[in-house]
Amino acid sequence: MRTDLFDFDLPASSVALRPASPRDCARMLVVQPDGVLRDHVISELPNWLAPGDQLVVNDTRVIAAQLSGRRIGRDTEPKIEATLIKRLDGSRWQALVRPAKKLAAGDTVRFGNEGRVCLLGHLDAEVEAKGGEGEVTLSFSFHGPALDQAIADLGRPPLPPYIASKRTPDERDASDYQTMFAATDGAVAAPTAGLHFTPQLESALRERGIGLQRITLHVGAGTFLPVKADDIAGHRMHSEWGSISSATASALNEARVNGGRIVAVGTTSLRLLESAAAEDGTIAPFEAETAIFITPGYRFRAVDILLTNFHLPRSTLFMLVSAFSGLQTMKQAYAHAIAAGYRFYSYGDACLLFRGCD
């Protein structure tokens, strides 16, 4: 399919720069299977679900993956910005760097302020390898928990570029850009549908007899990237590590046998569930990488309902929701959302999607 089929115009004023407060007062556009659109708010979510349904949330925790430093060891010391995107082992990370043209394999980048943290006052990393589009492999001077602590001390939350380019990230973002379910360090982007939840909403869901199950998918920076290929078949997905426990898989399978629906909170939860599902929809325990790319024509096996934010034009996530509810339905839903003043992207509003077809 042509990538431009998934393009749309979005006013800059539609991009949310701060989350709703409280989180569950964000708006929620309900997109029904027949394409009918209804305007609601997140706190009304329990009314759209039934006893026995199972909400599946992503409990990944966003790390302080944005690092600032400088290249050392040559005549000049240009500033370098790095976003960690994937851990390779105890001391090595894949990262996106700017400006990439200032680095070559063998260079050393020094992150941090002299005399501030990490015993020696800084954190050094060698550029072990350099790929395309600003991607490098960094081999750090620290290892394991010591490296984790150094990154936590030196780094800052990696806000999406469509927010960070419009305002300076601040202390509020450290909590705003983390879901209430966050428990397992490893993401460099938040599973943003989970940002809408509050303890009060969780209590209301449980009182209605709706289960809540946790899985883990460490979201990578690739989630922000638009598809640049003219045809979606030419796009390469970044892989992400995910885990579904045997207890969670059993609970979801039992609920489905008893007539309950699987409700994915966010595209990250959906992608992991679909990666772990057999042809008949049975969900197996999972602990591996996934690079699943869901586009129109995909047959969903595990997920019945999807709660998700509003996504970028030409993005893999808009392609996913178009596969879930139908391309024309989603174009109409997004046009309605823009006209009605819904807030888009990570800190924005949400839509509740029921499976449909064009």
Q: Could you report the per-residue pLDDT of 64-94, keeping only the tens digit for each?
A: 999 999 999 999 999 999 999 888 999 999 9
Interatomic CA distance for residues 152 and 243, integer angstroms: 23
pLDDT tens for each residue of 138-192: 999 999 999 999 998 898 888 888 888 888 888 899 899 999 999 999 998 999 9
Residue 256 backbone dihedrals phi, psi, to 5 degrees: -65, -40
For residue 49, which of 258, 305, 255 has the smallest C-alpha distance?
Answer: 305
pLDDT tens for each residue of 237-264: 888 999 999 999 999 999 999 999 999 9
Interatomic CA distance for residues 242 and 290, integer angstroms: 7
Rounded (to 5) percent helix, strand, coil in the chain: 30, 30, 40
For residue 82, which of 173, 184, 156 has the smallest C-alpha distance?
Answer: 156
Domains of the chain: 3-62+174-354 (3.40.1780.10), 66-155 (2.40.10.240)
Q: Which residue has the higher pLDDT, 227 or 44?
A: 44
For residue 137, which of 87, 209, 188 has the smallest C-alpha distance?
Answer: 87
**Interaxial angle between packed helices 327-339 and 316-325, expressed in degrees from 0 to 180 and rounded to the nearest 10:** 110
**Cβ neighbours around 259 below 10 Å, total:** 10
Interatomic CA distance for residues 263 and 211, integer angstroms: 10
pLDDT tens for each residue of 85-144: 888 999 999 999 999 999 999 999 999 865 444 455 689 999 999 987 789 999 999 999
Contact 111, 102 (CB under 8 A): no
Q: Which residue has the higher pLDDT, 227 or 326?
A: 326
Q: Which residue has the higher pLDDT, 165 or 349?
A: 349
- For residue 358, what pLDDT is reported? 46
CA 123 to mean position of chain CA atoms: 27
- For residue 331, what pLDDT is reported? 97
pTM of this structure: 0.91
* Structure token pair of residue 135: 């991607």
Please name the residues in contact with 63: beta carbons below 8 A apart, sequence gap of 6 or more: 84, 151, 152, 155, 185, 186, 187, 188
- For residue 117, what pLDDT is reported? 45
